[in-house]
Structure 1
């Protein structure tokens, strides 16, 4: 572990920067329900919901989800179609996340006897759980994670300490900064810094950034940050209409495509731009994800949720 970062002032060491950030976080931070628990199931739900979804929308969905399926055993016992329909109704993005979350719950129950694995490597064995999510669950549930490196953390490290826009450099710097055995508080704190004080538009003074004393960007006025791809708009997107397909089929059980099309798009016309070919593409995507099945009926093709 290095004891100094590229732009860390000569009169400060890494320990001083650590203490300043943790003190800032513990004195005042945003209250989210998933920060008030160390239940790995609830943390996993929050992490999956938060993927490219605004936190204001996640909070309501998170509460509703846990009211309905309060424990991993409840989710494992649920019908997959019910979980997917919930996801779609709450506009939580790609429906395959709901499918994978349901499958992960079944893995925990069937393969781990209802108890979550505790290390990032083991957590990645769960369906749909990649390195970032595994590390977050290990950190926030078990205090057993590595340094989280997300968009916010990259921006903070680049601005504050001149870490170059390179994934390996960010990983090394983040690991150097995190105190050993403190992944829960540290990862929460540095992500909070990026979300509250060091956003796209920095709020150094208003948020009382604890790193102003050492920050390269604050000292020079150069607040450029690594390029981050923008999240495509949900409104009008294919994923929005895939969600509508799932919601509609949940309501009607099954529908012929001639009736399904107009229910998910008012300007649906079989031979038009948003017609049968467009609808077939949505259904093919959902079938590939294991969410719907399509088959020939009495003279017309019908679609239904896969159970």
Structure 2
């Protein structure tokens, strides 16, 4: 399959934007251009089901409504919140807290920018508006930086996630190659409209062009140009499946962090019995298994372990 983008790019763009603006999923982060709130939503959405994200997002902003509130919080509180809402990968909470501190302390963005400007500046610093500068924030990679630049400042490049890749591969025969996807996505995006365009094309992949396509049911606006719709060949690049959360190491890591957030410290066996019913000190899921779990959390900078009076003691950092 070789890429074949339509000659009439404007018609393709107008059709997609009109489809999106006529009807789309109403996520709360789509109703704001606050970079802090958008960053929170983007970090939460990484490999996490959106149904879990919506509730956690609202609770998080109730607790820390502004970037300065998050920067002033204890990191352990933020990590405990993350774990308690089953968001997984607790180091993302640590990075988000550090990013808030960077913004408030004015550690990111162009060195020659004038002080002040915008609501965030009142908190002591301001978010950078450029994808490259946004990557200076702890834990913010190219994708997240571009998403924040797009949705907060309308200043991003074309987003290329798994949904977008699926759409471009099926509709226009773009080969399964990251460089090819990036080039095609950039070619299609209208200048200066990254906010609406990136939202629209991701919505298309999430609603109409999922693993099981719903072309007619969702009223896909690209049917007249779509190679897959015309040929019936809806193959797409393989998308890694999210491992089951129930019974996973991620689940038990979350339980450890949540319990340590509720107690100053816990010894190994007390912690083990609290996080799983089949814990036995010398069993398959016993002390050795739990030590490995705690070592992983310690390596991520989330947990501190010490030996005291023949006991292994764990606490949040």
Q: TM-score, normalised by structure 1?
A: 0.96
Is contact 1:144-1:181 (8 Å) kept?
yes
**2:251 corresponds to:** 240
1:125-147: CA deviations, max 9, x gaps?
A: 10000000000000000000000
Q: Which runs of 5+ in 1 are unaligned?
A: none
- 1:31 correspondence with 2:42: no
Deviation at 1:299, TM superposition (A): 3.0
Deviation at 1:6, TM superposition (A): 3.4
Give the 3-state SS of the residue equivalent to 1:207 in structure 2. Answer: coil
Q: How many residues align?
A: 300
Deviation at 1:289, TM superposition (A): 1.1
Is contact 1:69-1:75 (8 Å) kept?
yes
**1:101 corresponds to:** 96
Pick from 93, 105, 118: which aligns with 2:129?
Answer: 118
Q: Which runs of 5+ in 2 are unaligned?
A: 109-123
Deviation at 1:114, TM superposition (A): 2.3
**2:115 corresponds to:** none
Cα-Cα RMSD: 1.1
Give the 3-state SS of the residue equivalent to 1:304 in structure 2. Answer: strand
Deviation at 1:119, TM superposition (A): 0.6
**2:201 corresponds to:** 190
Runs of 4+ in 1 over 4 A off after TM superposition: none
**2:13 corresponds to:** 18
Matches within 5 A, 1:73-92: 73-92=68-87
Is contact 1:163-1:170 (8 Å) kept?
yes
- 1:51 correspondence with 2:62: no
Is contact 2:3-2:175 (8 Å) kept?
no
Is contact 1:72-1:114 (8 Å) kept?
no
Q: TM-score, normalised by structure 2?
A: 0.93
* Separation of aligned partners in 2, 1:100 and 1:109: 14
Is contact 2:245-2:251 (8 Å) kept?
yes
* Separation of aligned partners in 2, 1:163 and 1:192: 19
* Separation of aligned partners in 2, 1:273 and 1:14: 59
Deviation at 1:250, TM superposition (A): 1.1
* Separation of aligned partners in 2, 1:289 and 1:56: 27
* Separation of aligned partners in 1, 2:5 and 2:181: 15
Give the 3-state SS of the residue equivalent to 2:256 in structure 1. Answer: helix
* Separation of aligned partners in 1, 2:158 and 2:91: 27
* Separation of aligned partners in 2, 1:195 and 1:27: 16
* Separation of aligned partners in 1, 2:241 and 2:311: 40
1:23-57: CA deviations, max 9, x gaps?
A: 10011111000000000000000000001111111
